[in-house]
Structure 1
Amino acid sequence: MKEYYSSKTVLITGGAQGIGRGMAQAFAKAGANVIITDNDKEAGQEATQWFLEQNLKVTFLPCDVADEEQVKELMEQVKEKYGQLDVLINNAGIANPSVGPLQDMDLADFDRVLAVNLRGPLLCTKYALALLEKAEHPAVLNISSTRAFMSEPNTFPYSASKGGLEALTHSLAISLTEPRIRVNAIAPGWIETGRWEKKSKRYVPQHSQQDKEQHPVGRVGTPEDIAEAALFLCSDKAGFITGQSITIDGGMTVKMIYAE
């Protein structure tokens, strides 16, 4: 992948922590010019130092992806520094699935989750278009969730936002056929991000044998699992793939479970 990404510019929203940071590391190691954006400035500054310590150059630009003016400014900064964008990864999201019973849910919480998780990818893609159009093989990747297809109780905002993002993915893929911008999604399952968080939120993962055995592959997922797929989907090796969502969950969603 290094040969392909060495001259590419990649923007990853929500790239300061979790899966986003894992993807940023992978693309930077592959030689790309990586820009991460995050609404959490503390996390962004920590991530910048973290990458520096690994001799990886990653640029941090703060942005709330739900704010149209901030997204416009973000893309202007990318334009000034790099002139074009080869890959946009819409990863930023509020990952707090459970909001309690429907009758107690604050509508403002629902609106905020949809604003970040669904409006954000739309805004970022819209204002990145002029930069993506300059690339030879432009690609957009949306980070969805298996919660778009299945739910636990009381996860209305998160599930709705990720379901919408799945639909937005195939809609954009069909709408952006000129100048041939490919748009795909990854739907992660249980991904352990404990060691990829900022210092104040970092923790050592503790997984029981039952946690592991819920997955046919015998373990919980890692950001590296998502990063490897992202590298492939955004490269020319995936040039015949668009409008698709790839579930990466260790087989958890295809495993039948019977109550004892």
Structure 2
Amino acid sequence: MISNLFQNKTILVTGAARGIGHAIASAFHNQGATVWSADIIDPVNKIQGVNYEKVNLEDENQIKSLMDKIGEKLDVLINNAAFIKMTDIRNIQIEEFDKIFAVNLRAPFILSKLAIPKFEKTGKGSIINISSTRSLMSEANNEAYTSTKSGLNGLTHALANSLGPLVRVNSICPGWIECGDYQALREEDHSQHPVGRVGKPEDIANACLFLADDSKSGFITGQTLVIDGGMTVKMIYNE
């Protein structure tokens, strides 16, 4: 159902061809926004009315070209695109690390920088960085991804200070968000979460709607919102 909560607002979502990004783009489109999607892959299911651009976020020139196409004004930037590859640190190539860094952290910095004049034209703006609970806790062979997501949290509170009060900047740390076959999940997958279920992309999309709405979250900036069904506050030991 289309509403008008974000009517006349322009939203840019990176990594919106599938998964969490697709859900975010759909949610804002359903609220009446003009939505731009930037991804290196073609969308799995195109949303009628969403502007799709194929962009390699490792390439600064492609990012600049994207921002030129959007026009003079922007209301919300959602840095969702991410590249993950879990490799033993003994084997990971520096080129792999650099790619993960470029997509996950360097691109959000460039996009945020280029968005400033557009926010100034609009008169107010919101940046939402999609981080990860892996920025707060780790497992083996995850150094590159974890480093970039931790950096994204740091970039969030730094930008909040640099760009306030014009722009509010917050990050979201999703936990297990199932983007595949939700019905295939096991009962033990759900029951290990204090809320009793695994997350869905819509859980993150709804949080983005909240953080982008100045009437509801206008006093929130520089914060990291953990959305993980309670898993980061649950102590797990083998017994």
State the partner residue of 2:12.
Answer: 11
- 1:61 maps to 2:53: yes
Q: Distance in 2 between matches of 1:204 and 1:247?
A: 21
CA displacement 1:174-209 (0-9 Å, x = unmatched): 01125x111000000000011xxxxxxxx5652111
State the partner residue of 1:224.
Answer: 202
Q: Distance in 1 between matches of 2:124 and 2:203?
A: 23
State the partner residue of 1:86.
Answer: 75
CA displacement 1:205-226 (0-9 Å, x = unmatched): 5211111112101111000000
Could you tell me how far 1:252 is from its partner in structure 2?
0.6
Aligned length: 237
State the partner residue of 1:252.
Answer: 231
Match of residue 98, structure 2, among 111, 120, 128 = 111
State the partner residue of 1:24.
Answer: 25
Q: Distance in 2 between matches of 1:2 and 1:247?
A: 27
Could you tell me how far 1:134 is from its partner in structure 2?
1.6
Q: Distance in 1 between matches of 2:133 and 2:193?
A: 13
Could you tell me how far 1:70 is from its partner in structure 2?
0.7
Question: Is the Cα contact below 8 Å between 1:65 and 1:124 reproduced in 2?
Answer: no
- 1:103 partner SS: coil
CA displacement 1:87-138 (0-9 Å, x = unmatched): 0000011133x21x21111111111101100001001111111112122431
Match of residue 71, structure 1, among 39, 53, 63 = 63
- 1:209 maps to 2:196: no
- 1:64 partner SS: coil
Which structure 2 residue ranges, 5 or more long, are not aligned? none
- 1:243 partner SS: coil
Question: Is the Cα contact below 8 Å between 1:14 and 1:36 reproduced in 2?
Answer: yes
Which structure 1 residue ranges, 5 or more long, are not aligned? 195-202
Runs of 4+ more than 4 Å apart: none
Could you tell me how far 1:258 is from its partner in structure 2?
2.1
Match of residue 233, structure 1, among 208, 211, 219 = 211
Bigger helix share: 1
- 1:140 maps to 2:127: yes
Q: Distance in 2 between matches of 1:65 and 1:177?
A: 26
State the partner residue of 1:197.
Answer: none
Match of residue 184, structure 1, among 148, 165, 170 = 170
- 1:104 partner SS: coil
Assess, with a 3 A threshold, how the Cα gap between structure 1 residues 67 and 221 changes in structure 2: closer, same or farther: same
Match of residue 162, structure 1, among 123, 134, 149 = 149
| Aligned CA-pair RMSD | 1.5
Q: Distance in 1 between matches of 2:188 and 2:144?
A: 28
CA displacement 1:61-86 (0-9 Å, x = unmatched): 1112221111111110001xxx3100
Q: Name the TM-score, length of structure 2 as normaliser.
A: 0.95
Aligned-pair identity in percent equals 47
